[in-house]
Copies of this chain bind each other. A is one copy, B any other.
């Protein structure tokens, strides 16, 4: 049933040459081979439907041409875009892309990292930020170090306990700017809905929010800080909390778009009109952001580009290892219809 593929030995035999010669023409090495023999080998390979075995090649060459991307969930539009960018560059350069869903679980991250090490993946891109602190910090860094030692490259695309070269969007800056935008519209009571506790990106965006508020000389009322979890249902729960407040804020800043969508749904179901009753903005600018009604004011992140840059960084690292660097990419505020100037009512 399962008939094994012909090896280069078969090709050599059929062409009447040595395996060395056959290998030289098949691997398109620069080694000189006479035109006549080259033809013979090519011919034989053709007839045999020869397919080089990348596994064997990788074993010998000590690199796999395998590139992995660790994401929280590849079905989340945020990660999907990033992964797309990674695959694009990987494919252009003859690398295969392995997709790993970690669900932000450090244990799953560790398991995948180990497996990837087993497969001798040349590069690993980690996104889907981790927590500020976890019991697995040392574990994770140990395995990353081993990967780097054997010549593999690791890059993170979001703040993470893992110490590796990193490329990130400007979370603090973006949050600061969009908060400043709300302030410029006259809002002074601005709520913030965070992500899961201790998740680094959420914390960074909260910092930006706080910086802007502080700069405007506004004390943040404790009730303005609401916990979410990056999901729509988390946003809906936050909406409920908002509506229970004695004094309603005039604006809310959700730390990511999904949360904002949940807020939008939840608030509207409670009879609040957006933006008339409350202005709303998010962070990320998912494709959905311009489809919802009202369209969402948010911080645009060039997600696909982020993935591309990550992959390019890996490729560069593979060529010549360099000191860990951190690159911060700018982002831009997209003003849409979910925010309007503050009015008394």
A positions within 8 Å CB-CB of B: 1-5, 49, 51-56, 58-59, 62, 64, 73-75, 77, 80-81, 83-84, 87-88, 91, 96-101, 114-120, 146, 149-151, 261, 265, 288, 291-293, 304, 321
**A75 x B77 contact (CB < 8 A):** yes
Task: Look across to chain B and name the residue whose beta carbon is closest to the beta carbon of A148.
Answer: B2
Q: What residues of chain B lie closer than 8 Å to A74, measured between beta carbons?
A: 74, 80, 83-84, 87, 99
**Can you offer 23 A-B residue contacts whose CB atoms are under 8 A?**
A1-B151, A1-B321, A4-B62, A5-B146, A49-B146, A53-B118, A53-B120, A54-B120, A55-B119, A75-B77, A77-B77, A87-B100, A91-B101, A96-B116, A96-B119, A97-B100, A98-B98, A98-B99, A261-B291, A288-B288, A291-B291, A292-B292, A293-B293
Within the complex, the shortest CB–CB distance from A150 to chain B, in Å, comes to 5
Question: A49-B146, A288-B288, A291-B291 known; 6 other A-B pairs, CB under 8 Å?
Answer: A2-B321, A4-B62, A75-B80, A77-B80, A96-B119, A97-B100
Given the interface pairs A3-B150, A51-B146, the reply to whether A99 lies near B83 with Cβ below 8 Å is yes
Task: Look across to chain B and name the residue whose beta carbon is closest to the beta carbon of A142.
Answer: B49
Q: What residues of chain B lie closer than 8 Å to A53, measured between beta carbons?
A: 59, 118, 120
**A115 x B96 contact (CB < 8 A):** yes
Task: Look across to chain B and name the residue whose beta carbon is closest to the beta carbon of A150.
Answer: B5
Q: What residues of chain B lie closer than 8 Å to A75, measured between beta carbons?
A: 77, 80-81, 83-84, 304
Q: What residues of chain B lie closer than 8 Å to A81, measured between beta carbons?
A: 75
Whole-angstrom CA separation of A77 from B77 in the bound complex: 7
List of 3 A-B pairs having minimum Cβ-Cβ separation, nearest first: A2-B151, A293-B293, A99-B99
**A101 x B87 contact (CB < 8 A):** yes
Task: Look across to chain B and name the residue whose beta carbon is closest to the beta carbon of A3.
Answer: B149
Q: What residues of chain B lie closer than 8 Å to A84, measured between beta carbons?
A: 73-75, 101
Given the interface pairs A1-B321, A96-B98, the reply to whether A114 lies near B51 with Cβ below 8 Å is yes
